[in-house]
Amino acid sequence: MNRRVSNLIAGWRTGLPRPVLILQAGSALSYFGYGLILPFEIIYLHQIRGFSTSTAGLVLAATMGTAAIVTPPTGALLDRYSAKAIVVAGSLASAVGYAGFAFVDLPWQAFACSIVSGAGLGAAQTANRVLIITLVKREQRAASVALGRVAGNFGLGLGATAAGFLVASAQVLSSFQALYVFDAATYAAFALIVLAAVPIPRAVTDAPTDANGTGYRAVARDRLFLTVIAANLVLIVVGHVFFSNILAPFAATHTSVGPAAIGIIFLANTSFVVIAQLPAVRVVARMRRSHGFAAASAIFAVSLLGVLPATLIHSELAATILLGGVAIVFAIGECVHTVVLGPLVADMAPAHLLGRYLSVLGLTFTVSLALGPAIGGLLLQTSPDAVWWGGALAAVLAGAVLFRLGGRIPDPLREAQSPLAAAPAAE
């Protein structure tokens, strides 16, 4: 029994430096604040402030739209200036924007707050990726990405749960204002944590040559990187976004599960990610990256197809158990996919273009959050089952593309096993 406990604890040991642990703890705090408002933004703007639902939806869309717009220029700035400074500035901008939401009366005020907070989110999240990568060794990148995902899921889940109890006790203006003010306070606290406890990483000198070039033109000429990004865009849409955005409305309309059961299904997914993401690093470390992508795509395909039998089950309990299992399978795919993709992009990036490469990765997730609901919503209206079998087919095709890349992508496991890597250099 003691050995099993020791093995379990060992799976959670990251070996990451103290500044990274502090940074991820601060990130969890900011995600907690975001979780406080995430489920209730439209409710607040519509029911409390009197905006139409369409206007409220556009306000939220403006946040992510602004985040997407500022991501590429943030990547360019990160290749010239301190990531720490941009994290602090972006977090403070988000604090100002979300604090303003507590006091909006008119739509234009809400849009202004949305633009400010979205700009802060886009800048801070992109800079945070770069800051973490520059604070860890190459072999620690997967663990740093995994810990970031744990921090995000834990903070969001805890924040949404706390907000649910607060709103349930009193759906009045002051309750929602308290949520937004506290959310703003968590962003400000995160900025202070980064400013006080996270060092400025030592700059890595990697002067560009005529062959590799500079700027986003150099990124655009990296066809291998663009292929990786395009294939992973598909995997993020069908594997991450379809579950988080499309499963709930599909289940509510086409299965016997109710709102409470849907909440349990999502709890199963996020809880599994929090528990299993760090131990998954050790498992995935034994796999080639192309094999890891293939495994993630296969797991996503199985989970997508697993949704369809729920439409044939008339018992709410049985359907909930089935979809809860599907949610866990989705979580397994997410754990594998995340710890392969993030470190790979960092390994593919020349040091002088690290900010731009990681900004493209961040933009991939932002675009996925826009494409996924749009594609899924259209399919829900025209052919609901096609969301799941079509998504499974897309996952398999994307996985096949990534698997075929094989030896063309950087892979620490292949490099460690290569006789050429181990052999001494010839004199």
pLDDT tens readout for residues 188-238: 999 999 998 888 776 554 555 444 567 888 899 999 999 999 999 999 999
State how far the Cα of 77 lies from the Cα of 74, in Å rounded to an integer. Answer: 5
| C-alpha 189, offset from chain centre | 21
The single residue listed with the structure tokens 């259209």 is 378
pLDDT in tens, 93-110: 999 999 999 999 999 999
In three-state secondary structure terms, 314 is coil
Query: What residues contact residue 114 under an 8 Å CB cut-off, 6+ apart?
Result: 59, 60, 62, 63, 66, 97, 101
- Cα 96 to chain centroid distance, Å, stands at 23
If pLDDT is split at 50, 70 and 90, which confidence band does 427 have? very low
Please write the tens of the pLDDT for every residue from 371-414: 888 888 888 888 889 999 999 999 999 999 999 988 888 887 77
End-to-end Cα spacing for the chain: 54
- Cα–Cα distance for residue pair 262/267, rounded to 1 Å: 9
Lowest mean pLDDT of 54-58, 139-143, 414-418, 419-423, name the range.
Answer: 419-423
Cα–Cα nearest to 364, from 348, 342, 347: 342
Q: What are phi and psi of 170, to 5 degrees?
A: -165, 105
Are 391 and 383 in contact by the 8 Å Cβ rule? The answer is: no
Predicted confidence at residue 279, as pLDDT, reads: 87
Two tokens, residue 115: 């633009």
Q: In the chain, what percentage of residues exceed pLDDT 90?
A: 39
What is the rounded distance in angstroms from the CA atom of residue 389 to the CA atom of residue 309?
A: 12
Count the alpha carbons within 13 Å of 254 in the hemisphere toward its beta carbon: 21
Tokens of 329: 């399978």
* Residue 5 pLDDT > 80: no
| 299 or 352, greater pLDDT | 299
Half-sphere exposure of 414 (CA within 13 A, CB side): 11
Q: How far apart are CA 137 and CA 127, in angstroms?
A: 17
Cα 294–chain centre separation: 20
Measuring CA to CA, which residue among 216, 23, 51, 217 is closest to residue 136?
A: 23
- 419 — pLDDT class (breaks 50, 70, 90): low
Q: For 152-199, what is each residue's pLDDT tens digit?
A: 888 887 887 787 777 777 778 888 899 999 999 999 999 999 998 888
pLDDT for the residue numbered 285: 84
The pLDDT of residue 422 is above 50: no
The pair of structure tokens assigned to 374 is 């749009």
**pLDDT score recorded for residue 139:** 83
Lowest mean pLDDT among 30-39, 66-75, 199-208, 397-406: 199-208
Q: Which of 364, 334, 370 is nearest to 229 (CA)?
A: 364
- C-beta neighbour count of 409 within 10 angstroms: 20
pLDDT tier at 4, thresholds 50, 70, 90: low
Cα separation, 179 vs 167, whole angstroms: 9
Instruction: Enumerate residues 6+ apart whose C-beta is below 8 A from 102.
Output: 176, 177, 180, 181, 184
Token readout for 421 is 């890597």
pLDDT at 118: 92
Question: Residue 272's Cα: distance from chain center in Å?
Answer: 15
Q: What angle do CA 338, 236, 410 make, to 5 degrees?
A: 50
Look at residue 204 in the predicted model and tell me its pLDDT: 54
Residue of 150 and 425 predicted with greater confidence: 150
Of 157, 161, 148, 158, the residue nearest 334 (C-alpha): 148
| pTM: predicted TM-score of the whole model, two decimal places | 0.79
Per-residue confidence band for 15, with pLDDT thresholds at 50, 70 and 90: confident
Dihedral sign for Cα atoms in the order 268, 271, 274, 279: negative
| Integer angstrom CA distances of residue 183 from 30, 40, 164, 368 | 7, 13, 14, 25
Half-sphere exposure of residue 270: CA atoms within 13 angstroms, side-chain side: 19
Gap between the Cα atoms of 25 and 42, Å rounded: 28
pLDDT at position 202 is: 63
pLDDT in tens, 299-325: 999 999 999 999 999 998 999 999 999
**Percent of residues, the chain, with pLDDT higher than 70:** 90
